[in-house]
Amino acid sequence: MLLLAGSALLLAPLLAVQLSAGAGRAHACLCEPATHAELFGWADAVFSGQVISGARFLGTVVIRVDTVWKGTVTSTTSVNPDDGTSCSYGGFVNDEDYLVYAYVSPDDGTLTTWACSGTAPLESAQRALQILGEGRALEPGVTPTESGSSDGESSPASGTPRPAPTSSDAERAPAPPATGSGRAIEDGERIAGPGTSDAATTRDAPAPPPAWAIALLAALVASATLVRLAVRPRLPE
């Protein structure tokens, strides 16, 4: 009985940590589905290129642009992936190629992107590249004029608000102004968000304590109570 009581005292703190772990997990941004045409229409600039410097978590990156489908960008363009919410884009890696959907910040005019914009590593954006078409090759030192998709079909009307991301916490990422006016294919295909797959990446959602943990905690409490009763000194009769 004494051994059981000692085990209960040792396991109780560990069990408490296990029970509280589910409630303390953070939540990442959840992206609402959007078509390629919608992502294109919401963006102010759509281009591809290689990250050449600055890739660190949520730090502004410099991209050597090679192809432009929409917007006015230079051959080396800075993009800020931090929108100040849980929906910031943290996937940039130096020397890697990306397809970037960027927005002009209303605060300082810089280009920004976010987790649900459509920005993704180039190797995982092949479907989007097929829809976008050839685009316009950008020579070093050249700033292209406003360009659109080469397919000739129109994109959603300018000013259409993009869907706000859903998140299980209280924070909702603010939507940057939708000023896109380029052209894109209305293919009807819906995508869940950017990244290495079509599904938005999220962290584990909080889960209730498992049934076995609750039962074990109850058993340990009962055992400790029985031990205290067993070792309590008896009063003389």
> Phi and psi of 175, rounded to 5°?
-85, 130
- Counting the structural domains of the chain, the total is 2
Return the C-alpha torsion angle 116, 119, 120, 121, nearest 10. -160
With tokens 């085990």, the residue in question is: 7
Parallel/antiparallel/unpaired status of strands 76-80 and 111-112: parallel
| Same domain (yes/no): 17, 39 | no
Q: What is the pTM of this model?
A: 0.53
Domain that residue 170 falls in: 34-191
| Same domain (yes/no): 13, 100 | no
Asked if the model's pLDDT at residue 46 lies above 90, the reply is yes
Cβ atoms of 165 and 115 within 8 Å: the answer is yes
| Same domain (yes/no): 119, 176 | yes
Say which CATH number the domain at 156 has: 2.40.50.120
Buried-exposed string 27-51: b where 16+ CB fall within 10 A, e elsewhere: bbbbbeebbbbbbbbbbbbbbbbeb
| Same domain (yes/no): 64, 95 | yes
Cβ atoms of 42 and 32 within 8 Å: the answer is no
Asked if the model's pLDDT at residue 27 lies above 50, the reply is no
| Same domain (yes/no): 17, 99 | no
Within a domain: residue 196?
A: no
What are the angstrom distances between the C-alpha of 174 and each of 68, 88, 96, 163? Answer: 26, 11, 28, 10
Number of helical (H) and strand (E) elements in the chain, helices listed first: 4, 9
Please report which confidence band the pLDDT of residue 22 belongs to, taking 50, 70 and 90 as the band edges: very low
Among the residue ranges 9-23, 117-131, 202-216, the one predicted with the least confidence is: 9-23
Cα of first residue to Cα of last residue in the chain, in angstroms, is 25
Rg, C-alpha atoms of the chain: 27
Within a domain: residue 199?
A: no
Tokens of 73: 């960008």
| Same domain (yes/no): 133, 156 | yes
| Same domain (yes/no): 134, 218 | no
Q: According to the per-residue pLDDT averaged within each range, which of 15-29, 76-90, 133-147, 178-192 is highest? A: 76-90
Cβ atoms of 99 and 39 within 8 Å: the answer is no
Could you read off the pLDDT of 166-182 as tens digits, one per residue? 544 434 444 444 444 44
Asked if the model's pLDDT at residue 29 lies above 50, the reply is yes
Q: Which segments within 120-215 are labelled E, that is strand?
A: 120-121, 136-137, 190-191
| Same domain (yes/no): 142, 166 | yes
Within a domain: residue 50?
A: yes
